[in-house]
Structure 1
């Protein structure tokens, strides 16, 4: 019969966190498998070592805090102690959470010491703090620009930072700008991804001016400064409307009484375009270089605030955008591979290796010369045959600058990226978190390829907790190696019966031993099942 102590020790060995049990003097009585693997070069369990005495030897503030906390728990002054600490290596930054808890067994004092890696959470916190600091720095910089617009900078920045939604940002910014001389009208427009039409969403100023709504379409006419600014990705200015050849097309007769100059500034954050800000002034030459610098800085503040709100909303959104397009370009490697091999190419998935290189998986309806044809294409660094079937081959492609990676970087999920040998187009289906990322991805595709045709655009509700949510939470739990192992095994057909690839073959493709591969796979499967069962509303606990 298995004893209770043996069962507890075996259970500890399954935990993906390092655990040690101390006696009342701080001596290690028991460690789990993760503790031993944390320093594999030592390959010892440290049983019999005085943990507190060893920690006291380290001469740094974190060690001193740890010793003080552990001694307080051992002496019974407190029941628990927890602290976060860095443990960086020359190759990467790492953070851990140490937690010590006092308990008793048969009247004897015992203390459990747990170390949990929190690197991803810490990096996310640092990134969030840096984003907040960038926003504050933008505000500090703007407040020192020009004396005349000091009040404007402060008002617009406060409106952007203090707003609770993107609509409120646009509304408040337009009001603040239109209330500042020499501006008499301000509007902010967004681009519809399906019609490519720029539509003013918020405006303020004169009420007797017919806005250019339904008249501005990207690529159809670049004479309007709003269209030109979005097409070029930089500000456009008309310093004197009277000299503008197409003025009568966009603005009413008699507008020269109040409309003298116009500026259009794209609202962009990185490669995401949120829209365009259009300002009208009752003075000619109102938008000199200094004025434009201020407005571009303001647009940067507005876009940063919009991005912060969009990011927050993405975490709680209940809708997704489903996009389907056709791409016609013989240089697109999926199309080139299908043509070269005269075989259908079907997308299977995406993961990353330990150095961050993207690994994209495709199934090819052919069994000979597949890897050689793939590696000869531009952008393909290496090609590996993971599995061979009677009628096809599963390829792992190591890519550098690939559109599939760009889509993933925008928060998109590729559902289909397929090419037939006799067709001219690549069939692409994507799922994206919002309309802004959809617009950016569509623009990216149009910039890269000869012809991109939008087939469908659909916003749909998603369940409260979707597979995407489970994957996002699982991503924070899995290490890079665990995630890569799990995805490779799945894409290669390791879980199919009969198996088309062995664990030894997959381990070799990853450059690790067979036992290491299976260890990563078991750990990843355990975390996946735990997350899936937690996601099931019918499960207990």
Structure 2
């Protein structure tokens, strides 16, 4: 028995926590080394014989934690509870620290005893406080965000409605500027377009509060580089001046007499994919008006506006009675079509673009035979290359594109008439809805490639019923597989005689059976002929 008691006592001495044992009157009977050495650098004190509870009572009037300790210890001593736990601070002039006190009731030979353990929990407490402070900061940020969102909720809704509900690009610009200028703290909003022929940025629509004027004169890209609108367009990202009074170059473009109304400005490019339709410029009455959160919302609105403009331009291309015919020459080895010609050491001619379950497939004729797929598939942006037809003097390639200027142009409502490469020069012919679309596409190409030369620009009237009308109708009536079968048959000269490719080969390229391919092809041909001979009355009669 003695050896067990000795072992327990020795173990108690080694514990890194302060431990005391008190009797039913609160008097200390035993302490361990950690207790004796705590708080004293010169001598140890065991406190045996000191009434622990009575000592704590002396401080309970001034110390809430002392009062809680007394109440807890008394409840354990009286048998009301077996265990009492509390946490409390115990700071020094040089260090913040916290402890946890744990009291446990037990008996020895029917005598009540209570062990009192003090465990330092400073690291845990500091971590908890840091987490609480972080949580509070997040709550503050959340409340600030809610405030921002509450203020701009109507703005987001109205600007989105204005952009989506407008029938023309001019109407989008006018309604958006009007709505933004009516929202505090903005005092002036304008939308500028770029004329690529003279590289000038011209305000097209604007709105302001009171007598705040619009800026005078056009801005010139590459010259007026201090203006936020120019910087935003050239960098392709928002540009903000939070305090115009400290911006030395503001005098070059600050509207005369309006200094007191302008304190900050933000310019945001209106971009959809790689095409930029212009720039939105907002002036605010307050300095630091464009916080990170506000700017994120404005960027989202700029994207919505550009998307609506793209939809109108694409729709206009299908319905307009006029068309802009643009012919360009591009000299840049990084251009996808030029890189293809150089890799194959051949002349390349564009034959069309189709989509297979959302995957763009481009068709190119090259004036050589043999191993042509291996060099093509190594090009950046080409996921796969397939020989669709082999002729005596050339090959029809089917390229699965990941990212290409061809898909970018088509997705922006542009009709690619010609995209051929000879001797390192790309000959590109496009049909666009209007002059602004032409300028946007020209600007896109000029930003991406070294040398872009405008060969011709011609506006012409289209017949009442255009090829684009037919394409739009067929896209509504044909399934993806039917459209793919028809387009592959056409570009592969399946309708020529003698045929260079069989139905079985085309079916294999679509990973379908020969009979399924012919079913898709016959259905597509019938729908095409119905549209040609019966016009709009045939639309919707067949759903297969």
The TM tier, using the shorter chain, reads 0.5 to 0.7
Note the 1:310-329 alignment, pairs <5 A: 313=316, 316-329=319-332
> Match for residue 216 of structure 1?
220
Offset, 1:300: 5.2
Note the 1:323-472 alignment, pairs <5 A: 323-353=326-356, 355-420=357-422, 422=423, 424-434=424-434, 438=438, 441-472=441-472
Flag the 1:201–1:143 CA change in 2: closer, same or farther, 3 A: farther
CA contact (8 A) 1:269 1:303 kept: yes
CA contact (8 A) 2:269 2:278 kept: yes
> Match for residue 524 of structure 1?
524
> Match for residue 50 of structure 1?
none
Q: Distance in 2 between matches of 1:157 and 1:526?
A: 41
SS of the residue aligned with 2:219?
A: coil
Offset, 1:347: 1.3
SS of the residue aligned with 2:465?
A: coil
Q: Deviations over 1:148-167 (max 9, x none)?
A: 66776677566556655432
CA contact (8 A) 2:275 2:444 kept: no
Greater CA drift, 191-200 or 373-382: 373-382
Q: Distance in 2 between matches of 1:269 and 1:373?
A: 32
Greater CA drift, 282-291 or 154-163: 154-163
Offset, 1:419: 0.9
Offset, 1:200: 0.5
* CA RMSD, 1 decimal: 3.6
Q: Distance in 1 between matches of 2:298 and 2:418?
A: 41
Q: Are 2:492 and 1:492 aligned? A: yes
Note the 1:81-480 alignment, pairs <5 A: 145=148, 163-178=166-181, 182-205=185-208, 209=213, 211-217=215-221, 219-251=222-254, 255-269=258-272, 272-289=275-292, 291-293=294-296, 295-296=298-299, 298-299=301-302, 302-303=305-306, 306=309, 313=316, 316-353=319-356, 355-420=357-422, 422=423, 424-434=424-434, 438=438, 441-480=441-480
Q: How many residues align?
A: 393
CA contact (8 A) 1:144 1:150 kept: no
Flag the 1:536–1:381 CA change in 2: closer, same or farther, 3 A: same
Flag the 1:499–1:518 CA change in 2: closer, same or farther, 3 A: same
Q: Deviations over 1:265-304 (max 9, x none)?
A: 3334555543222233444434344554554455456456
CA contact (8 A) 2:314 2:433 kept: no
Gaps of 5+ in 1: 1-141
Flag the 1:284–1:465 CA change in 2: closer, same or farther, 3 A: same
Offset, 1:330: 1.8
TM-score, structure 2 as length reference:
0.62
Q: Distance in 2 between matches of 1:358 and 1:154?
A: 34
SS of the residue aligned with 1:362?
A: strand
Q: Deviations over 1:132-163 (max 9, x none)?
A: xxxxxxxxxx9973666677667756655665
Flag the 1:497–1:231 CA change in 2: closer, same or farther, 3 A: same
CA contact (8 A) 2:163 2:308 kept: yes
CA contact (8 A) 2:316 2:433 kept: no
> Match for residue 74 of structure 1?
none
Q: Deviations over 1:194-218 (max 9, x none)?
A: 434211012234768562432232x
CA contact (8 A) 1:193 1:435 kept: no
Offset, 1:470: 0.7
Offset, 1:361: 1.9
TM-score, structure 1 as length reference:
0.62
Q: Distance in 1 between matches of 2:452 and 2:270?
A: 24
SS of the residue aligned with 2:248?
A: coil
CA contact (8 A) 1:143 1:154 kept: no
Q: Distance in 1 between matches of 2:173 and 2:247?
A: 28
Q: Distance in 1 between matches of 2:483 and 2:158?
A: 47
Q: Distance in 1 between matches of 2:154 and 2:388?
A: 63
Gaps of 5+ in 2: 1-144, 538-544
Greater CA drift, 337-346 or 174-183: 174-183
CA radius of gyration, larger in: 2
